[in-house]
Structure 1
Amino acid sequence: MRSFRDAKTMAQTLRDSLTGKAVTISHSESLELVSKMLGAADWNTLSALIQASRQEPAASAAQQTERLPSYPAMPLRDLVPFPTAIYPLFVGRQKTMQALDQAFHRQREMVLAVQKDSAVDEPGLDDIYDVGVLAGLIELYPQSDGTLKVLTQIYRRVMIRRFLAETGTYVADITDLSEGPIPAAPELIEQAVARFKIYAKAWAIQLPQTHPPLEQIRDPGRVADIICAQVKLPIRDKQGLLATLDPVARLERVHALMQMTS
Protein backbone atom coordinates (compact mmCIF):
# COMPACT_ATOMS: atom_id res chain seq x y z
CA MET A 1 0.00 0.00 0.00
CA ARG A 2 1.50 3.29 -1.06
CA SER A 3 -0.49 5.89 0.81
CA PHE A 4 -3.26 6.79 3.23
CA ARG A 5 -5.62 7.30 0.28
CA ASP A 6 -5.18 3.71 -1.01
CA ALA A 7 -6.95 2.28 2.05
CA LYS A 8 -9.86 4.67 1.53
CA THR A 9 -10.13 3.62 -2.12
CA MET A 10 -10.25 -0.02 -1.03
CA ALA A 11 -13.01 0.82 1.44
CA GLN A 12 -15.08 2.58 -1.23
CA THR A 13 -14.58 -0.36 -3.63
CA LEU A 14 -15.72 -2.77 -0.92
CA ARG A 15 -18.77 -0.63 -0.17
CA ASP A 16 -19.72 -0.38 -3.86
CA SER A 17 -19.30 -4.15 -4.31
CA LEU A 18 -21.51 -4.95 -1.33
CA THR A 19 -24.14 -2.46 -2.51
CA GLY A 20 -24.26 -4.36 -5.80
CA LYS A 21 -25.11 -7.46 -3.77
CA ALA A 22 -27.89 -5.65 -1.88
CA VAL A 23 -25.73 -5.30 1.27
CA THR A 24 -25.55 -1.73 2.59
CA ILE A 25 -22.81 -0.55 4.96
CA SER A 26 -21.73 2.94 5.98
CA HIS A 27 -18.49 4.65 5.00
CA SER A 28 -17.04 4.17 8.49
CA GLU A 29 -18.05 0.48 8.58
CA SER A 30 -16.23 -0.14 5.29
CA LEU A 31 -13.12 1.56 6.68
CA GLU A 32 -13.24 -0.65 9.78
CA LEU A 33 -13.56 -3.79 7.62
CA VAL A 34 -10.58 -2.82 5.46
CA SER A 35 -8.55 -2.10 8.60
CA LYS A 36 -9.20 -5.59 9.97
CA MET A 37 -8.40 -7.13 6.56
CA LEU A 38 -5.00 -5.42 6.75
CA GLY A 39 -4.33 -6.61 10.30
CA ALA A 40 -5.04 -3.36 12.21
CA ALA A 41 -7.27 -3.17 15.28
CA ASP A 42 -9.39 -0.37 13.83
CA TRP A 43 -9.40 2.49 11.31
CA ASN A 44 -7.82 4.96 13.74
CA THR A 45 -4.80 2.68 14.13
CA LEU A 46 -4.47 1.93 10.43
CA SER A 47 -4.80 5.55 9.28
CA ALA A 48 -2.19 6.78 11.75
CA LEU A 49 0.20 3.95 10.82
CA ILE A 50 -0.18 4.56 7.08
CA GLN A 51 0.22 8.31 7.47
CA ALA A 52 3.33 7.84 9.60
CA SER A 53 4.86 5.27 7.23
CA ARG A 54 4.25 7.54 4.24
CA GLN A 55 6.18 10.31 5.96
CA GLU A 56 8.88 8.04 7.37
CA PRO A 57 11.18 7.98 4.28
CA ALA A 58 11.19 11.76 4.08
CA ALA A 59 11.71 12.04 7.81
CA SER A 60 14.58 9.54 7.73
CA ALA A 61 16.29 11.44 4.94
CA ALA A 62 15.88 14.69 6.79
CA GLN A 63 17.33 13.18 9.95
CA GLN A 64 20.59 12.54 8.10
CA THR A 65 21.19 16.27 8.12
CA GLU A 66 18.94 17.55 10.92
CA ARG A 67 16.71 16.35 13.71
CA LEU A 68 12.92 16.21 13.64
CA PRO A 69 11.23 19.41 14.82
CA SER A 70 11.51 19.57 18.60
CA TYR A 71 9.19 21.53 20.90
CA PRO A 72 8.65 22.06 24.61
CA ALA A 73 5.84 19.68 25.60
CA MET A 74 3.01 19.42 28.08
CA PRO A 75 1.40 16.13 29.16
CA LEU A 76 -2.37 16.39 29.74
CA ARG A 77 -4.09 14.22 32.33
CA ASP A 78 -7.81 14.74 31.66
CA LEU A 79 -8.25 16.67 28.42
CA VAL A 80 -8.11 15.84 24.71
CA PRO A 81 -7.63 19.09 22.73
CA PHE A 82 -8.93 19.54 19.17
CA PRO A 83 -7.71 21.86 16.39
CA THR A 84 -9.17 25.40 16.18
CA ALA A 85 -10.34 25.36 19.82
CA ILE A 86 -9.00 27.60 22.60
CA TYR A 87 -8.34 25.99 25.99
CA PRO A 88 -7.31 27.36 29.38
CA LEU A 89 -4.85 24.88 30.90
CA PHE A 90 -3.79 24.76 34.54
CA VAL A 91 -0.21 23.70 35.20
CA GLY A 92 1.31 22.50 38.45
CA ARG A 93 4.11 20.10 37.46
CA GLN A 94 7.54 21.69 37.66
CA LYS A 95 8.73 20.16 34.37
CA THR A 96 5.67 21.50 32.57
CA MET A 97 6.28 24.94 34.04
CA GLN A 98 9.83 24.80 32.71
CA ALA A 99 8.51 23.74 29.29
CA LEU A 100 6.13 26.69 29.29
CA ASP A 101 8.96 29.05 30.17
CA GLN A 102 11.03 27.71 27.26
CA ALA A 103 8.10 27.98 24.87
CA PHE A 104 7.38 31.61 25.79
CA HIS A 105 11.04 32.47 25.23
CA ARG A 106 11.07 30.72 21.83
CA GLN A 107 8.27 30.50 19.26
CA ARG A 108 5.39 30.43 21.80
CA GLU A 109 4.41 26.96 20.56
CA MET A 110 4.36 23.63 22.35
CA VAL A 111 3.20 20.06 21.90
CA LEU A 112 0.26 18.85 23.96
CA ALA A 113 0.29 15.10 24.61
CA VAL A 114 -2.57 13.15 26.21
CA GLN A 115 -1.64 10.70 28.97
CA LYS A 116 -3.01 7.15 28.81
CA ASP A 117 -3.16 7.02 32.62
CA SER A 118 -3.75 10.25 34.53
CA ALA A 119 -2.15 8.75 37.65
CA VAL A 120 1.34 8.71 36.07
CA ASP A 121 3.32 11.67 37.43
CA GLU A 122 6.41 11.36 35.21
CA PRO A 123 5.14 10.25 31.78
CA GLY A 124 7.43 9.03 29.02
CA LEU A 125 6.75 8.06 25.40
CA ASP A 126 4.99 4.81 26.38
CA ASP A 127 2.67 6.72 28.73
CA ILE A 128 1.17 9.06 26.12
CA TYR A 129 -0.87 8.58 22.95
CA ASP A 130 1.02 8.85 19.66
CA VAL A 131 -1.31 11.49 18.18
CA GLY A 132 -1.18 14.88 19.91
CA VAL A 133 -1.48 18.51 18.85
CA LEU A 134 0.70 21.54 18.31
CA ALA A 135 -0.61 24.56 20.22
CA GLY A 136 0.15 28.27 20.29
CA LEU A 137 0.46 29.99 23.67
CA ILE A 138 -1.68 33.12 23.92
CA GLU A 139 -1.22 34.32 27.49
CA LEU A 140 0.14 33.12 30.83
CA TYR A 141 -1.49 33.87 34.19
CA PRO A 142 0.39 33.06 37.44
CA GLN A 143 -1.96 31.81 40.16
CA SER A 144 -1.88 32.63 43.88
CA ASP A 145 -1.12 28.99 44.79
CA GLY A 146 2.05 28.91 42.69
CA THR A 147 0.49 27.14 39.70
CA LEU A 148 0.03 28.61 36.23
CA LYS A 149 -2.92 29.13 33.91
CA VAL A 150 -2.08 29.28 30.21
CA LEU A 151 -4.45 30.11 27.37
CA THR A 152 -3.75 27.96 24.30
CA GLN A 153 -4.89 27.96 20.66
CA ILE A 154 -4.77 24.50 19.06
CA TYR A 155 -3.16 24.51 15.60
CA ARG A 156 -3.01 20.98 14.19
CA ARG A 157 -2.59 17.27 14.80
CA VAL A 158 0.93 15.84 15.03
CA MET A 159 2.54 12.42 15.43
CA ILE A 160 4.74 12.36 18.54
CA ARG A 161 7.98 10.52 17.77
CA ARG A 162 9.83 11.25 21.01
CA PHE A 163 8.64 12.43 24.40
CA LEU A 164 10.89 12.67 27.42
CA ALA A 165 12.01 14.70 30.38
CA GLU A 166 15.22 16.46 29.39
CA THR A 167 17.18 18.83 31.67
CA GLY A 168 14.19 19.32 33.95
CA THR A 169 11.58 19.89 31.27
CA TYR A 170 9.41 17.96 28.78
CA VAL A 171 10.47 17.81 25.13
CA ALA A 172 8.74 16.22 22.11
CA ASP A 173 9.90 15.52 18.56
CA ILE A 174 7.08 15.46 16.01
CA THR A 175 6.08 14.95 12.41
CA ASP A 176 2.97 16.52 10.87
CA LEU A 177 -0.19 14.58 10.03
CA SER A 178 -2.27 15.53 6.99
CA GLU A 179 -5.94 14.83 6.33
CA GLY A 180 -5.53 15.42 2.60
CA PRO A 181 -8.00 17.35 0.40
CA ILE A 182 -11.29 18.47 1.96
CA PRO A 183 -14.00 15.95 0.96
CA ALA A 184 -17.59 16.95 0.22
CA ALA A 185 -20.12 15.64 2.75
CA PRO A 186 -23.02 18.17 2.89
CA GLU A 187 -25.68 15.68 4.03
CA LEU A 188 -23.49 14.28 6.79
CA ILE A 189 -22.64 17.81 7.99
CA GLU A 190 -26.32 18.75 8.07
CA GLN A 191 -27.22 15.60 10.04
CA ALA A 192 -24.31 15.96 12.48
CA VAL A 193 -24.99 19.64 13.20
CA ALA A 194 -28.69 18.90 13.77
CA ARG A 195 -27.79 16.08 16.17
CA PHE A 196 -25.25 18.31 17.94
CA LYS A 197 -27.90 20.97 18.60
CA ILE A 198 -30.13 18.34 20.21
CA TYR A 199 -27.16 16.99 22.17
CA ALA A 200 -26.09 20.46 23.32
CA LYS A 201 -29.59 21.24 24.59
CA ALA A 202 -29.78 17.95 26.48
CA TRP A 203 -26.38 18.50 28.14
CA ALA A 204 -26.79 22.27 28.66
CA ILE A 205 -23.83 23.01 26.40
CA GLN A 206 -23.57 26.48 24.91
CA LEU A 207 -23.28 26.26 21.14
CA PRO A 208 -19.87 27.56 19.96
CA GLN A 209 -19.80 30.78 17.96
CA THR A 210 -18.06 30.10 14.65
CA HIS A 211 -17.51 32.01 11.43
CA PRO A 212 -19.20 31.02 9.24
CA PRO A 213 -21.95 29.46 11.42
CA LEU A 214 -21.43 25.76 12.08
CA GLU A 215 -24.16 24.61 9.67
CA GLN A 216 -22.56 26.63 6.85
CA ILE A 217 -19.06 25.15 7.20
CA ARG A 218 -18.29 22.82 4.30
CA ASP A 219 -15.24 21.07 5.77
CA PRO A 220 -16.45 17.89 7.57
CA GLY A 221 -13.15 17.65 9.45
CA ARG A 222 -13.50 21.14 10.91
CA VAL A 223 -17.15 20.51 11.82
CA ALA A 224 -16.13 17.27 13.51
CA ASP A 225 -13.38 18.97 15.52
CA ILE A 226 -15.67 21.77 16.70
CA ILE A 227 -18.23 19.21 17.88
CA CYS A 228 -15.59 16.88 19.35
CA ALA A 229 -14.27 19.72 21.52
CA GLN A 230 -17.72 20.11 23.11
CA VAL A 231 -19.09 16.60 23.57
CA LYS A 232 -18.81 14.84 26.94
CA LEU A 233 -17.00 11.54 26.40
CA PRO A 234 -14.38 9.42 28.18
CA ILE A 235 -10.77 10.37 27.40
CA ARG A 236 -10.22 7.15 25.44
CA ASP A 237 -13.17 7.88 23.13
CA LYS A 238 -12.10 11.49 22.61
CA GLN A 239 -8.53 10.40 21.84
CA GLY A 240 -9.94 7.96 19.29
CA LEU A 241 -11.67 10.89 17.59
CA LEU A 242 -8.48 12.95 17.63
CA ALA A 243 -6.59 10.04 16.03
CA THR A 244 -9.22 9.56 13.31
CA LEU A 245 -7.53 11.34 10.41
CA ASP A 246 -10.23 10.76 7.81
CA PRO A 247 -12.57 13.80 8.12
CA VAL A 248 -15.72 11.98 7.03
CA ALA A 249 -15.04 8.99 9.30
CA ARG A 250 -14.39 11.35 12.23
CA LEU A 251 -17.67 13.20 11.71
CA GLU A 252 -19.57 9.93 11.30
CA ARG A 253 -18.05 8.62 14.50
CA VAL A 254 -18.83 11.64 16.66
CA HIS A 255 -22.34 11.71 15.17
CA ALA A 256 -22.85 8.10 16.25
CA LEU A 257 -21.43 8.78 19.73
CA MET A 258 -23.82 11.69 20.22
CA GLN A 259 -26.74 9.45 19.31
CA MET A 260 -25.58 6.92 21.91
CA THR A 261 -25.15 9.46 24.71
CA SER A 262 -28.03 11.89 24.18
Structure 2
Amino acid sequence: MGGIYKMRIIVEKDYQAMSKKAALMVASQITLRPNSNLGLATGGTPLAMYDKLIEMYKKDEIDFSEVQSFNLDEYCGLKDDHPNSYHYYMYNNFFNEINIKKENVHIPNGRAEDFEQECRNYERSIKKVRGIDLQILGIGSNGHIGFNEPAESLNVATEVVNLTDETIEANSRYFDSIDEVPKKAISMGMATILKADRIILLASGENKAEAIQKTVSGKISTEIPASLLQTHPEITILLDQEAASLISQDELSADCHFEICD
Protein backbone atom coordinates (compact mmCIF):
# COMPACT_ATOMS: atom_id res chain seq x y z
CA MET A 1 0.00 0.00 0.00
CA GLY A 2 3.01 2.27 0.10
CA GLY A 3 2.70 3.46 3.68
CA ILE A 4 1.08 3.01 7.07
CA TYR A 5 -2.57 4.06 7.09
CA LYS A 6 -4.85 4.53 10.08
CA MET A 7 -7.96 4.18 7.92
CA ARG A 8 -8.49 1.98 4.87
CA ILE A 9 -11.61 2.56 2.78
CA ILE A 10 -12.30 -0.39 0.50
CA VAL A 11 -15.09 -0.13 -2.05
CA GLU A 12 -16.39 -3.42 -3.42
CA LYS A 13 -18.69 -3.75 -6.43
CA ASP A 14 -21.72 -4.88 -4.42
CA TYR A 15 -23.05 -6.08 -1.08
CA GLN A 16 -22.05 -9.72 -1.56
CA ALA A 17 -18.46 -8.84 -2.49
CA MET A 18 -18.24 -6.50 0.50
CA SER A 19 -19.58 -9.23 2.80
CA LYS A 20 -17.11 -11.79 1.47
CA LYS A 21 -14.21 -9.43 2.13
CA ALA A 22 -15.46 -8.85 5.67
CA ALA A 23 -15.76 -12.60 6.31
CA LEU A 24 -12.23 -13.20 5.05
CA MET A 25 -10.90 -10.50 7.37
CA VAL A 26 -12.67 -12.04 10.37
CA ALA A 27 -11.42 -15.50 9.39
CA SER A 28 -7.88 -14.17 9.11
CA GLN A 29 -8.13 -12.71 12.61
CA ILE A 30 -9.25 -16.06 14.05
CA THR A 31 -6.63 -18.02 12.11
CA LEU A 32 -3.86 -15.81 13.45
CA ARG A 33 -5.32 -15.74 16.97
CA PRO A 34 -7.72 -18.66 17.62
CA ASN A 35 -8.77 -17.24 21.01
CA SER A 36 -9.73 -13.87 19.54
CA ASN A 37 -12.29 -11.64 21.23
CA LEU A 38 -14.74 -10.43 18.59
CA GLY A 39 -17.09 -7.48 18.92
CA LEU A 40 -20.19 -8.25 16.86
CA ALA A 41 -22.99 -6.20 15.34
CA THR A 42 -26.58 -6.93 14.33
CA GLY A 43 -28.91 -5.45 11.72
CA GLY A 44 -29.30 -6.17 8.03
CA THR A 45 -25.78 -5.31 6.90
CA PRO A 46 -23.74 -8.09 8.62
CA LEU A 47 -26.11 -10.93 7.63
CA ALA A 48 -24.26 -12.00 4.48
CA MET A 49 -20.93 -11.80 6.33
CA TYR A 50 -22.29 -14.20 8.95
CA ASP A 51 -23.60 -16.50 6.20
CA LYS A 52 -20.17 -16.63 4.59
CA LEU A 53 -18.47 -17.32 7.94
CA ILE A 54 -20.90 -20.21 8.49
CA GLU A 55 -20.00 -21.59 5.05
CA MET A 56 -16.30 -21.39 5.92
CA TYR A 57 -16.90 -23.15 9.25
CA LYS A 58 -18.82 -25.98 7.57
CA LYS A 59 -15.91 -26.44 5.17
CA ASP A 60 -13.54 -26.74 8.16
CA GLU A 61 -11.80 -23.52 7.14
CA ILE A 62 -12.39 -21.77 10.47
CA ASP A 63 -12.79 -22.82 14.10
CA PHE A 64 -14.74 -20.76 16.65
CA SER A 65 -14.19 -23.04 19.65
CA GLU A 66 -11.82 -20.62 21.42
CA VAL A 67 -13.45 -17.39 20.25
CA GLN A 68 -15.22 -15.06 22.68
CA SER A 69 -17.88 -12.70 21.34
CA PHE A 70 -19.25 -9.43 22.69
CA ASN A 71 -22.27 -7.84 21.10
CA LEU A 72 -22.58 -4.10 20.76
CA ASP A 73 -26.06 -3.74 22.15
CA GLU A 74 -29.44 -5.14 23.10
CA TYR A 75 -32.94 -3.71 23.40
CA CYS A 76 -34.26 -3.10 26.90
CA GLY A 77 -37.38 -5.06 27.74
CA LEU A 78 -37.24 -7.89 25.20
CA LYS A 79 -36.83 -11.50 26.29
CA ASP A 80 -33.90 -13.42 24.84
CA ASP A 81 -36.25 -15.53 22.71
CA HIS A 82 -38.17 -12.54 21.32
CA PRO A 83 -37.74 -12.65 17.51
CA ASN A 84 -36.50 -9.04 17.51
CA SER A 85 -34.05 -9.32 20.39
CA TYR A 86 -30.40 -9.33 19.46
CA HIS A 87 -29.94 -12.55 21.45
CA TYR A 88 -32.36 -14.21 19.05
CA TYR A 89 -30.75 -12.55 16.03
CA MET A 90 -27.25 -13.76 16.91
CA TYR A 91 -28.24 -17.35 17.66
CA ASN A 92 -30.67 -17.63 14.75
CA ASN A 93 -28.32 -16.08 12.18
CA PHE A 94 -24.91 -17.20 13.41
CA PHE A 95 -24.20 -18.92 16.71
CA ASN A 96 -26.48 -21.93 16.19
CA GLU A 97 -24.54 -22.78 13.02
CA ILE A 98 -20.97 -22.63 14.37
CA ASN A 99 -19.02 -24.21 17.23
CA ILE A 100 -18.72 -21.20 19.51
CA LYS A 101 -19.19 -22.15 23.17
CA LYS A 102 -22.27 -20.69 24.83
CA GLU A 103 -20.22 -19.57 27.82
CA ASN A 104 -18.06 -17.53 25.44
CA VAL A 105 -21.04 -15.56 24.08
CA HIS A 106 -21.64 -12.18 25.70
CA ILE A 107 -24.74 -10.10 24.93
CA PRO A 108 -26.14 -7.41 27.25
CA ASN A 109 -29.13 -8.56 29.28
CA GLY A 110 -32.08 -6.45 28.17
CA ARG A 111 -34.22 -7.87 30.99
CA ALA A 112 -31.77 -7.16 33.82
CA GLU A 113 -33.30 -6.14 37.15
CA ASP A 114 -30.57 -3.52 37.59
CA PHE A 115 -29.51 -2.00 34.27
CA GLU A 116 -26.72 0.10 35.78
CA GLN A 117 -25.18 -3.00 37.33
CA GLU A 118 -25.62 -4.92 34.09
CA CYS A 119 -23.69 -2.20 32.24
CA ARG A 120 -20.87 -2.29 34.78
CA ASN A 121 -20.73 -6.08 34.60
CA TYR A 122 -20.55 -5.97 30.80
CA GLU A 123 -17.61 -3.59 30.90
CA ARG A 124 -15.85 -5.86 33.41
CA SER A 125 -16.41 -8.92 31.21
CA ILE A 126 -14.67 -7.16 28.31
CA LYS A 127 -11.76 -6.00 30.45
CA LYS A 128 -11.40 -9.47 31.97
CA VAL A 129 -10.47 -10.95 28.59
CA ARG A 130 -7.99 -8.13 27.77
CA GLY A 131 -10.41 -6.24 25.52
CA ILE A 132 -11.75 -6.71 22.01
CA ASP A 133 -9.34 -7.72 19.25
CA LEU A 134 -11.62 -7.05 16.27
CA GLN A 135 -14.81 -5.01 16.41
CA ILE A 136 -17.41 -5.28 13.64
CA LEU A 137 -19.65 -2.23 13.22
CA GLY A 138 -22.59 -1.20 11.13
CA ILE A 139 -23.75 2.39 10.80
CA GLY A 140 -27.15 4.04 11.01
CA SER A 141 -28.35 6.52 8.42
CA ASN A 142 -27.93 9.21 11.09
CA GLY A 143 -24.33 8.17 11.78
CA HIS A 144 -24.94 6.15 14.94
CA ILE A 145 -22.83 3.09 15.77
CA GLY A 146 -24.12 0.60 18.26
CA PHE A 147 -26.91 2.66 19.78
CA ASN A 148 -24.68 5.69 20.29
CA GLU A 149 -27.08 8.23 18.84
CA PRO A 150 -26.26 11.78 17.65
CA ALA A 151 -26.13 14.09 20.67
CA GLU A 152 -24.22 16.94 22.25
CA SER A 153 -22.33 14.38 24.32
CA LEU A 154 -21.80 10.62 24.04
CA ASN A 155 -21.45 7.84 26.60
CA VAL A 156 -17.94 6.63 27.28
CA ALA A 157 -18.74 3.14 28.57
CA THR A 158 -21.63 0.68 28.25
CA GLU A 159 -24.84 2.48 29.26
CA VAL A 160 -28.60 2.49 28.84
CA VAL A 161 -29.46 4.88 26.02
CA ASN A 162 -32.64 6.47 24.65
CA LEU A 163 -33.24 5.70 20.98
CA THR A 164 -33.96 8.58 18.63
CA ASP A 165 -37.22 8.80 16.70
CA GLU A 166 -35.21 8.24 13.49
CA THR A 167 -33.71 5.00 14.79
CA ILE A 168 -37.05 3.81 16.16
CA GLU A 169 -38.65 4.44 12.78
CA ALA A 170 -35.77 2.70 10.93
CA ASN A 171 -36.05 -0.36 13.19
CA SER A 172 -39.84 -0.49 13.02
CA ARG A 173 -39.59 -2.57 9.83
CA TYR A 174 -38.64 -5.51 12.03
CA PHE A 175 -41.75 -5.14 14.24
CA ASP A 176 -45.48 -5.40 13.59
CA SER A 177 -45.88 -1.70 14.43
CA ILE A 178 -43.70 1.24 15.43
CA ASP A 179 -45.34 1.21 18.88
CA GLU A 180 -43.70 -2.16 19.59
CA VAL A 181 -40.15 -0.88 19.05
CA PRO A 182 -38.34 -0.49 22.40
CA LYS A 183 -37.43 3.08 23.29
CA LYS A 184 -34.26 2.18 25.21
CA ALA A 185 -31.29 -0.11 24.72
CA ILE A 186 -28.03 -1.12 26.39
CA SER A 187 -25.11 -0.12 24.18
CA MET A 188 -21.34 -0.19 24.33
CA GLY A 189 -20.07 3.37 24.69
CA MET A 190 -17.75 5.12 22.28
CA ALA A 191 -14.62 4.63 24.38
CA THR A 192 -15.36 0.91 24.72
CA ILE A 193 -15.69 0.63 20.93
CA LEU A 194 -12.57 2.69 20.25
CA LYS A 195 -10.46 0.56 22.60
CA ALA A 196 -10.74 -2.40 20.21
CA ASP A 197 -7.41 -3.24 18.58
CA ARG A 198 -8.94 -3.27 15.09
CA ILE A 199 -12.29 -2.10 13.72
CA ILE A 200 -14.19 -3.01 10.58
CA LEU A 201 -17.14 -0.79 9.64
CA LEU A 202 -19.61 -2.18 7.09
CA ALA A 203 -22.04 -0.09 5.07
CA SER A 204 -24.20 -0.93 2.09
CA GLY A 205 -26.73 0.99 0.08
CA GLU A 206 -27.48 4.53 -1.02
CA ASN A 207 -29.27 5.30 2.26
CA LYS A 208 -25.93 5.02 4.10
CA ALA A 209 -23.95 7.20 1.67
CA GLU A 210 -24.44 10.51 3.48
CA ALA A 211 -23.54 9.00 6.87
CA ILE A 212 -20.39 7.46 5.38
CA GLN A 213 -19.40 10.75 3.73
CA LYS A 214 -19.70 12.54 7.08
CA THR A 215 -17.84 9.72 8.85
CA VAL A 216 -14.71 10.08 6.70
CA SER A 217 -14.87 13.78 5.83
CA GLY A 218 -12.05 14.82 8.15
CA LYS A 219 -14.38 16.48 10.67
CA ILE A 220 -15.34 14.96 14.01
CA SER A 221 -18.63 15.66 15.73
CA THR A 222 -20.79 13.93 18.32
CA GLU A 223 -23.66 14.71 15.95
CA ILE A 224 -22.12 12.01 13.73
CA PRO A 225 -20.89 9.44 16.30
CA ALA A 226 -19.20 7.34 13.61
CA SER A 227 -16.92 10.29 12.78
CA LEU A 228 -15.02 9.56 16.01
CA LEU A 229 -13.72 6.44 14.28
CA GLN A 230 -11.28 8.73 12.47
CA THR A 231 -9.29 8.83 15.72
CA HIS A 232 -8.75 5.05 15.74
CA PRO A 233 -5.27 3.79 14.80
CA GLU A 234 -6.45 0.81 12.69
CA ILE A 235 -9.85 0.88 11.03
CA THR A 236 -11.10 -0.59 7.76
CA ILE A 237 -14.30 0.71 6.19
CA LEU A 238 -15.86 -1.78 3.77
CA LEU A 239 -18.44 -0.34 1.39
CA ASP A 240 -20.38 -1.21 -1.69
CA GLN A 241 -20.43 1.31 -4.51
CA GLU A 242 -23.72 2.89 -3.45
CA ALA A 243 -22.57 3.54 0.13
CA ALA A 244 -19.34 5.06 -1.20
CA SER A 245 -21.05 7.28 -3.77
CA LEU A 246 -20.70 10.59 -1.88
CA ILE A 247 -17.09 10.23 -0.73
CA SER A 248 -14.79 12.97 -1.98
CA GLN A 249 -11.20 11.75 -2.05
CA ASP A 250 -10.05 15.38 -1.73
CA GLU A 251 -11.52 15.44 1.80
CA LEU A 252 -9.64 12.38 3.01
CA SER A 253 -6.58 12.79 5.23
CA ALA A 254 -3.08 11.74 4.15
CA ASP A 255 -3.15 8.67 6.44
CA CYS A 256 -6.28 7.31 4.74
CA HIS A 257 -5.97 4.69 1.98
CA PHE A 258 -8.80 4.63 -0.56
CA GLU A 259 -9.16 1.50 -2.69
CA ILE A 260 -11.78 0.64 -5.31
CA CYS A 261 -11.96 -3.08 -6.13
CA ASP A 262 -12.99 -4.45 -9.52
Shorter chain as normaliser: what TM range?
Answer: under 0.3
> Which structure's residues are more often helix, by fraction?
1
